[in-house]
Amino acid sequence: MGDPLLLQVAQPVSEFGTAELASLLVDMRDTMAALDGAGLAAPQIGISLQVVIFGVGANPRYPDAESVPYTELVNPVLEPIGDEIEEGWEGCLSVPGMRGVVPRWRRLRYRGFTPEGAPIEREVADFHARVVQHECDHLLGILYPMRVRDLRQFGFTDALFPGESIQDD
């Protein structure tokens, strides 16, 4: 947080299936795995392109969260379904050591492409919807602290959740 690249709107990918795109995804997968994150957007590793990855298996950090299939999503478009909004805790690999409560659409449809150019369309809710909104916000130059409504619910993970050893995501 503080790097101007994270405040930029990312460029759409214009060509699918290229070696450059494949290599970007290798870097993103490695970074997300090394940091044990739930998702990652290309601008977080210095590339201002509309590419996000996310996925959560059974994870002790999210005991109440359903698993989210590992997904590589290029040029995503989000569309809320209904007007239900849910508050929930989020962290971010670009804002290490902190957590905040962020309002998100509870249900949404997302569309986009695989890196090879195959279309993806899904309707999701709850934690899956939250992860997608968080990652796609990165492509609009929005970091989650910019969406926190009550700054009393934003702080250092160690202070908010003492003894729980929650990592960034």
Pick between residue 93 and residue 108 the one whose CB is nearest to Ni ion.
Answer: 93
CB 131, min distance to Ni ion, A: 10
Question: How many positions of this chain bind Ni ion (CB under 5 A)?
Answer: 1
CB of 124 to Ni ion, least distance (A): 18
CB of 134 to Ni ion, least distance (A): 6
Q: Does the active-site annotation cover 135?
A: yes
Closest C-alpha to 38, from 86, 92, 100, 87: 92
What is the DSSP secondary structure assignment for residue 66, as one 8-state letter? P
Residue 140 exposed, middle or buried by CB count within 10 Å (0-12, 13-18, 19+): middle
Q: Compare residues 92 and 136 and give the one whose CB is closer to Ni ion.
A: 92
Sign (positive or negative) of CA dihedral 43, 45, 51, 53: negative
Which of 92, 102, 131, 139 forms a contact with Ni ion (CB under 5 A)?
Answer: 92
CB count in 10 Å sphere of residue 66: 12
Interaction between residue 32 and Ni ion (CB under 5 A) = no
Length of the chain as a residue count: 169
Nearer to Ni ion, 106 or 138 (CB): 138
Distance CA 151, CA 127 (A): 22
Q: How far is the CB of 132 from Ni ion (least distance, A)?
A: 12
Radius of gyration, alpha carbons of the chain: 15
Q: Per CB under 5 A, which of residues 98..157 are in contact with Ni ion? A: none
The residue annotated as part of the active site, out of 15, 66, 90, 135, is: 135
Binding residues (CB under 5 A) for Ni ion: these are 92
Write out the catalytic residue numbers: 135
